[in-house]
């Protein structure tokens, strides 16, 4: 999850009042933000573009400017050291992704203001013409929403925040630009009307960001620009690429990959043009509304953009009118278990930057468009709870009496565990993920097709789910080779086989396995243990000679045991084959038993 850094001084300046770092960090936690830590950050200035690059104090001073990508021999010069709060972003709350959103929420929570923030859009003049071909499968990126925002002259800090906010929205709403992607431009470097159209991959060339002023064709960007390579998969199979271009034919961007150098936002820019293109309408809209609302919170003025589709279709965006939903107050009270008065409820909603009109036990709650997380009245109930503060919520137990019941496999496991401990065996716990080499080849077992295979293993060590418990035990002996013999271990755990009639097409079992290693570790030892365990489980075991590749010939038996009450267990015991010992670097005989205690649903 992305982590953002929020400067304490900067946040205080937007709040209009200075707060100590701890108070802000605490308030953010109470709002539900995930405060990673509070730190001192160092700002470095770029001699070329004047932009700030931010780092933690223990990191080496950077040589490369994050913004203009200039790289120099000398580290960048330190400009300032500042207190900051680092936040782990929460995917479900994009309205809390940046300093603008946090300012909006904190203003209410800290009592500086209350109620709905007004983010109305003023009429604007920019027009965007949309090419119908963007809706075709081979060039599909049909949705585009845009806005113009007049802002106080952009500072270096504003630019850094905007850049990070854009990245966070790409992650949280855009699903790494797959569903939606954002472009922000200096409107003074653009001549409207703007066209949303298509680019021939090998046709017109433009200078992408971060490559100086070298013009490149679309396909070339996907092949050799770092951002192009990172996101080329999003345009794979497209015969033409999406393109935003102004009236003079100057390229704004090639969504969802990269903007052009010419239209980039600079220190001092005052008019921004924002576009969001995407393949899912909601995600595309929400990205735009969240971004421009934040800019408005930080002092910007939003202006509308006219989107002209094919065949005269026309739309004016952004559509920031707040939404209203009705809740029943008693439902809120009982959901939270808090006897809040009407007046308290109104106040709490105000604190959470919502408006509530209350009449006859109901509230019409108005919330801004950017609260895309509100899909049900319970989401508003949760806002009330946050407004109250979890620390102030009384803690009670439910009064209803219910009867506890443990699972039968746990009851039988408890008996088996007690028996094994009494016999002097140490318990181990091992991972259920393993691989075919350690699980089959090392045990001389043919690989077969009865095991659950992981499709996207992270490493070659964990490619399947275990079908027996022998790997963990032999591995344990191997790890403890230095210790005196004899050694005795057991494990109680689940194994899974693929196949069967259950809805998951798997069969899961609870098993017990035990192992003894040492000069006297032989069939007789594990036979005694198997007998003892069966006896303690109330069963009597019947043995027959068995052959199994992991055991020495003539020293392996299978058993089945049944007892009163319908309990039955089955298993196998024997002396481990020397070849298996060698694969686990063991030099002493090992005898092992594995018992199927019971099937699991």
Partner 1 sequence: MAKIQLGETQHRVLIAVRDGPGAVEDIARAAGLDQAEVVGTARFGEERGWIRIHEQQVTEIALADNAAAWVRDGLPERRFLNAMSGRRELPLRDAAALATNLGSALNEVLKWGGARGWLEKREGSVFVTEKGEVESAAPTDDERALTWILANGAASLETLDSQGIDSKAVVANLGHRGNVARVRSRTRRHVELTDVGRAFLASGDYDLRRQQNQLSPDDIATGRWRLIDLRPYDVSLDSDRVVPVKPHPFRRILERARHAFLEMGFEEAVSPMVDSSFWVFDALFQPQDHPARDMQDTFYVARPATGELPDDSLVERVRATHENGWTTGSVGWGYNWSRDRARRMVLRTHTTATTIRALAQNPEPPRKVFAVGRVFRNEAISYKHLPEFNQVDGIVIDKEANLTTLLGMLQEFYRKMGFEKVKFKPSFFPYTEPSAEVFVFMPARQTWIEMGGAGIFRPEVTRPFGCTCPVLAWGLGLERLAMKIYELDDIRRLYWTDLDWLEEVPLCQS
Q: Is 455 in the site for partner 1 (CB under 8 A)?
A: yes
What's the closest the beta carbon of residue 388 comes to partner 1, in angstroms? 9
Among 461, 528, 538, 553, contact with partner 1 (rule: CB under 8 A) = 461
Q: Is 340 in the site for partner 1 (CB under 8 A)?
A: no
What residues between 156 and 215 interact with partner 1 by CB under 8 A? 175, 179
Q: Which residues pair with 103 in a beta bridge?
A: none
Minimum CB distance to partner 1 smaller for 206 or for 489: 489
What residues between 72 and 111 interact with partner 1 by CB under 8 A? 90-93
Q: Is 421 in the site for partner 1 (CB under 8 A)?
A: yes
Q: Is 116 in the site for partner 1 (CB under 8 A)?
A: no
Q: Is 448 in the site for partner 1 (CB under 8 A)?
A: no
What's the closest the beta carbon of residue 90 comes to partner 1, in angstroms? 5
With beta carbons less than 8 A apart as the criterion, state whether 373 and 333 touch: no
Contacts of 58 (CB under 8 A, 6+ apart): none
Among 494, 543, 548, 558, contact with partner 1 (rule: CB under 8 A) = 494
What residues between 579 and 598 interact with partner 1 by CB under 8 A? 585
With beta carbons less than 8 A apart as the criterion, state whether 488 and 424 touch: yes
Minimum CB distance to partner 1 smaller for 311 or for 403: 403
What's the closest the beta carbon of residue 426 comes to partner 1, in angstroms? 5
Q: Which residues pair with 28 in a beta bridge?
A: none
Q: Is 445 in the site for partner 1 (CB under 8 A)?
A: no
- Two structure tokens written together for 117: 């923030």
Minimum CB distance to partner 1 smaller for 70 or for 415: 415
* Pairing relationship of beta strands 251-254 and 127-130 according to DSSP bridges: unpaired
Minimum CB distance to partner 1 smaller for 31 or for 221: 31
What's the closest the beta carbon of residue 483 comes to partner 1, in angstroms? 5
Q: Is 373 in the site for partner 1 (CB under 8 A)?
A: yes
Q: Is 417 in the site for partner 1 (CB under 8 A)?
A: yes
- Helix, strand, or coil (residue 517): strand
Among 454, 524, 545, 553, contact with partner 1 (rule: CB under 8 A) = 454
- The window from 47-55, 192-200, 300-308, 501-509 that contacts partner 1 (CB under 8 A) reads 501-509
With beta carbons less than 8 A apart as the criterion, state whether 580 and 440 touch: no
What's the closest the beta carbon of residue 254 comes to partner 1, in angstroms? 24
What's the closest the beta carbon of residue 214 comes to partner 1, in angstroms? 33
Q: Is 465 in the site for partner 1 (CB under 8 A)?
A: yes
Q: Is 430 in the site for partner 1 (CB under 8 A)?
A: yes
- The window from 58-66, 136-144, 502-510, 548-556 that contacts partner 1 (CB under 8 A) reads 502-510
Phi–psi pair at 231, nearest 5 degrees? -115, 10
Among 2, 10, 27, 29, contact with partner 1 (rule: CB under 8 A) = 29
What's the closest the beta carbon of residue 85 comes to partner 1, in angstroms? 15
C-alpha distances in Å from residue 269, one per residue of 43, 98, 186, 354: 21, 20, 6, 32
What's the closest the beta carbon of residue 235 comes to partner 1, in angstroms? 19
- Helix, strand, or coil (residue 560): strand
CA–CA separation, 46 and 247 (whole Å): 33
What's the closest the beta carbon of residue 414 comes to partner 1, in angstroms? 8
Minimum CB distance to partner 1 smaller for 43 or for 353: 353
Q: How many residues bind partner 1 (CB under 8 A)?
A: 96
Contacts of 35 (CB under 8 A, 6+ apart): 25, 28, 29, 85, 86, 87, 88
With beta carbons less than 8 A apart as the criterion, state whether 485 and 518 touch: yes
- The window from 23-31, 219-227, 519-527, 543-551 that contacts partner 1 (CB under 8 A) reads 23-31
| Residue 472 DSSP one-character state | H
Minimum CB distance to partner 1 smaller for 83 or for 508: 508
The closest of 317, 215, 241 to 275, measured between CA atoms, is: 317
- Two structure tokens written together for 43: 């700002």
Q: Is 553 in the site for partner 1 (CB under 8 A)?
A: no
Residue 292 CB coordination number (10 Å): 29
With beta carbons less than 8 A apart as the criterion, state whether 187 and 267 touch: no
With beta carbons less than 8 A apart as the criterion, state whether 46 and 65 touch: yes
* Radius of gyration of the chain, Cα coordinates, nearest whole angstrom: 33
The closest of 495, 508, 548, 555 to 527, measured between CA atoms, is: 555
Among 14, 34, 113, 301, contact with partner 1 (rule: CB under 8 A) = 34
For 597, counting Cβ atoms within 10 Å of its Cβ (0-12 exposed, 13-18 middle, 19+ buried), the class is buried
| Residue 370 DSSP one-character state | T
What's the closest the beta carbon of residue 95 comes to partner 1, in angstroms? 11
Among 109, 119, 440, 489, contact with partner 1 (rule: CB under 8 A) = 489
Minimum CB distance to partner 1 smaller for 481 or for 548: 481
What's the closest the beta carbon of residue 567 comes to partner 1, in angstroms? 18
What's the closest the beta carbon of residue 366 comes to partner 1, in angstroms? 16
Q: Is 458 in the site for partner 1 (CB under 8 A)?
A: yes
What's the closest the beta carbon of residue 578 comes to partner 1, in angstroms? 18
What's the closest the beta carbon of residue 329 comes to partner 1, in angstroms? 14
Q: Distance between alpha carbon 71 and the CA centroid of its chain, in Å?
A: 33
Burial letters 526-545, b for 16+ CB under 10 A, else e: bbebbbebbeebebebebee
What's the closest the beta carbon of residue 299 comes to partner 1, in angstroms? 28
With beta carbons less than 8 A apart as the criterion, state whether 347 and 334 touch: no
Minimum CB distance to partner 1 smaller for 229 or for 376: 376
What residues between 376 and 415 interact with partner 1 by CB under 8 A? 376-379, 381-382, 385-386, 390-391, 393-407, 409-410
Among 282, 342, 520, 579, contact with partner 1 (rule: CB under 8 A) = 282
| Residue 373 DSSP one-character state | T
Run of H or E residues at 307: strand 305-308
Run of H or E residues at 30: helix 21-30
CA–CA separation, 206 and 213 (whole Å): 8
- Two structure tokens written together for 554: 């003539």
What residues between 221 and 250 interact with partner 1 by CB under 8 A? none
- Two structure tokens written together for 504: 């998951």
Helix axis angle, 8-15 to 99-109, nearest 10° = 60
């Amino acid at each position: 999850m992305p982590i953002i850094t929020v400067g304490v001084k900067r946040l205080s300046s937007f709040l209009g009042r200075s707060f100590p770092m701890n108070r802000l960090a605490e308030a953010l936690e109470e709002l539900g933000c995930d405060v990673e830590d509070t730190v001192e950050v160092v700002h470095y200035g770029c001699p070329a573009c004047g932009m700030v690059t931010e780092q933690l104090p223990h990191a080496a001073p950077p040589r490369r400017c994050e913004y203009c990508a200039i790289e120099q021999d000398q580290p960048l010069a330190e400009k300032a050291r500042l207190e900051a709060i680092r936040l782990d972003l929460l995917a479900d709350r994009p309205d809390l992704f940046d300093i603008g959103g946090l300012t909006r929420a904190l203003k209410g929570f800290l009592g500086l203001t209350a109620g709905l923030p007004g983010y109305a859009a003023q009429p604007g003049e920019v027009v965007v013409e949309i090419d119908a071909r963007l809706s075709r499968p081979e060039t599909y990126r049909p949705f585009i929403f845009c806005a113009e925002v007049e802002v106080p002259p952009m500072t270096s800090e504003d630019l850094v925040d905007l850049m990070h906010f854009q990245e966070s929205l790409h992650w949280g709403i855009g699903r790494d630009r797959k569903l939606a992607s954002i472009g922000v431009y200096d409107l003074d470097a653009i001549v409207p009307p703007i066209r949303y159209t298509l680019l021939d991959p090998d046709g017109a060339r433009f200078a992408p960001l971060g490559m100086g002023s070298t013009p490149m064709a679309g396909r070339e960007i996907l092949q050799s620009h770092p951002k192009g390579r990172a996101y080329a998969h999003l345009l794979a199979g497209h015969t033409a690429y999406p393109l935003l271009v102004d009236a003079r034919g100057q390229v704004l961007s090639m969504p969802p990959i990269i903007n052009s150098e010419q239209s980039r936002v600079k220190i001092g820019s005052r008019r921004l043009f924002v576009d969001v293109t995407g393949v899912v309408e909601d995600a595309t809209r929400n990205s735009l509304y969240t971004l421009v609302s934040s800019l408005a919170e930080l002092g910007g003025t939003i202006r509308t953009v006219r989107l002209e589709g094919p065949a005269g279709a026309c739309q004016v965006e952004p559509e920031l009118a707040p939404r209203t939903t009705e809740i029943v107050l008693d439902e809120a009270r009982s959901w939270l278990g808090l006897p809040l008065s009407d007046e308290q409820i109104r106040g709490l909603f105000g604190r959470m930057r919502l408006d509530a009109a209350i009449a006859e036990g109901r509230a019409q709650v108005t919330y801004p468009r950017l609260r895309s997380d509100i899909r049900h009245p319970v989401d508003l109930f949760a806002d009330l709870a946050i407004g109250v503060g979890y620390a102030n919520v009384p803690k009670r137990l439910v009064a209803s009496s219910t009867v506890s019941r443990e699972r039968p496999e746990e009851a039988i496991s408890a008996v088996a565990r007690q028996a094994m401990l009494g016999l002097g065996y140490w318990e181990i716990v091992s991972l259920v993920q393993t691989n075919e080499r350690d699980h089959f080849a090392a045990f001389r077992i043919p690989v077969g097709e009865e095991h659950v295979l992981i499709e996207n293993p992270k490493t070659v060590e964990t490619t399947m789910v275990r079908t027996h418990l022998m790997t963990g035990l032999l591995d344990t002996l191997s790890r403890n080779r230095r210790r005196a013999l004899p050694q005795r271990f057991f494990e109680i755990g689940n194994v899974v086989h693929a196949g069967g009639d259950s809805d998951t097409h798997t069969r899961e079992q609870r098993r017990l396995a035990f192992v003894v290693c040492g000069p006297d570790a032989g069939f007789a030892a594990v036979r005694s243990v198997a007998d003892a365990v069966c006896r303690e489980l109330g069963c009597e075991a019947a043995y027959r000679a068995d052959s199994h590749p992991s055991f020495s010939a003539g020293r392996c038996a299978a058993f089945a045991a049944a007892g009163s009450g319908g309990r039955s267990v089955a298993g196998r015991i024997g002396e481990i084959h020397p070849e298996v010992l060698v694969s686990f670097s063991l030099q002493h005989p090992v005898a092992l038993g594995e018992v199927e205690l019971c099937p699991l649903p």
